[in-house]
């Protein structure tokens, strides 16, 4: 079976090395049988450290965009972050999957939802999405208005895998995303952790197995 080529997007106030460390167990599992290859990209917005990040990891720390929207010329808006990643897909893709944690998951979902809003008759930039513990999604209409999340039902059309922690402070946001994705294509895995990527072997194996099923599904469409 062809390898799944994934673009990995990390949380706010971290960096690529931190994400690689956080995902090390899952990467090891998926690389053991050549299920997936991994592409990491660093961000450009300087940021303070994310929740509890500074306790364990040294900086520098980055994010994909400034929020609230920047009033200065050197800020990066969420729309600009979407455009930057579409350019990345053009130059370094294609990618079969996007895998996003927290802020990265928000970016991934927003990019997919905004794409279907603006390009309803074109194939999405990814064939599937794996989202771990993400915040609310930001989608901007053609006239520059934000589209509320309750109006995004059906706009993320690719198969999705949602990994959420019951003790996460954004647990409800993660569940809402699962609810707005297409029911038949959305898989939910819950764990008893907080705002983190599960490292326990049983959960890593469960997530890896779900990604393998997702890979088989999209590769043989």
Tell me the angle at which helices 103-118 and 78-92 cross, rounded to the nearest 10 degrees. 80
Average pLDDT score over residue span 146-150:
57
What are the tens digits of pLDDT across the range 12-23? 889 888 989 989
CA distance 40 to 47: 18
Q: How far is CA 37 from CA 51, 79, 146, in A?
A: 28, 27, 34
Q: Is 142 a residue whose pLDDT tops 70?
A: no
Give percent above pLDDT 70 in the chain: 86
- Structure tokens of 50? 């994310």
Average pLDDT score over residue span 207-212:
96
Q: Is there a contact between 58 and 74 (Cβ–Cβ < 8 Å)?
A: no
Q: Is 159 a residue whose pLDDT tops 70?
A: yes
**Per-residue model confidence (pLDDT) at position 185:** 87
CA distance 79 to 176: 22
**Per-residue model confidence (pLDDT) at position 123:** 93
**Per-residue model confidence (pLDDT) at position 171:** 86
- 71 pLDDT band (50/70/90 cuts)? low
- pTM for this one? 0.88
Q: Is 103 a residue whose pLDDT tops 80?
A: yes
42 or 37, which is more confident?
37
CA distance 88 to 90: 5
Average pLDDT score over residue span 30-47:
88
**Per-residue model confidence (pLDDT) at position 55:** 85
**Per-residue model confidence (pLDDT) at position 78:** 80
Give percent above pLDDT 90 in the chain: 39
**Per-residue model confidence (pLDDT) at position 108:** 92
CA distance 112 to 95: 13
**Per-residue model confidence (pLDDT) at position 145:** 54
**Per-residue model confidence (pLDDT) at position 220:** 72
DSSP 32-88: HTT-EEEEE----EE----TTTTTT--S--EESS-SSPP-STT---HHHHHHHHHHH
For the chain, domains (ranges, CATH) are 4-219 (3.40.50.1820)
- 149 pLDDT band (50/70/90 cuts)? low
- Structure tokens of 16? 């690529």
At residue 7, the 3 state secondary structure works out as: strand
**Which residues sit opposite 160 in a β-bridge?**
129, 186
**Per-residue model confidence (pLDDT) at position 211:** 96
Average pLDDT score over residue span 150-167:
84
Catalytic residues: 102
Q: Is there a contact between 117 and 139 (Cβ–Cβ < 8 Å)?
A: yes
- 188 pLDDT band (50/70/90 cuts)? very high
**Per-residue model confidence (pLDDT) at position 148:** 56
């Amino acid at each position: 079976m062809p390898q799944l080529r994934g673009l990995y997007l990390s949380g706010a106030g971290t960096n690529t090395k931190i994400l690689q460390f956080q995902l090390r167990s899952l990467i090891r599992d998926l690389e053991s049988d050549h299920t997936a290859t991994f592409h990491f990209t660093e961000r450009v917005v300087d940021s303070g450290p994310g929740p509890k990040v500074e306790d364990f990891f040294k900086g520098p720390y980055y994010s994909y965009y400034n929020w609230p929207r920047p009033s200065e010329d050197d800020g990066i808006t969420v729309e600009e972050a979407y455009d930057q990643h579409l350019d990345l897909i053009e130059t370094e893709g294609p990618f079969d999957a996007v895998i996003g944690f927290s802020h990265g998951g928000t970016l991934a979902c927003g990019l997919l939802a905004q794409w279907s809003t603006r390009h309803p008759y074109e194939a999405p930039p990814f064939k599937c999405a794996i989202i771990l513990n993400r915040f609310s999604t930001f989608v901007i209409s053609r006239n520059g208005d934000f589209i509320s999340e309750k109006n995004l039902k059906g706009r993320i059309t690719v198969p999705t895998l949602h990994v959420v922690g019951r003790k996460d402070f954004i647990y409800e946001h993660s569940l809402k995303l699962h609810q707005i994705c297409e029911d038949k294509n959305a898989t939910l895995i819950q764990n008893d952790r907080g705002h983190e990527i599960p490292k326990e072997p049983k959960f890593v194996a469960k997530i890896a197995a779900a990604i393998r099923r997702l890979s088989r599904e999209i590769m043989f469409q």
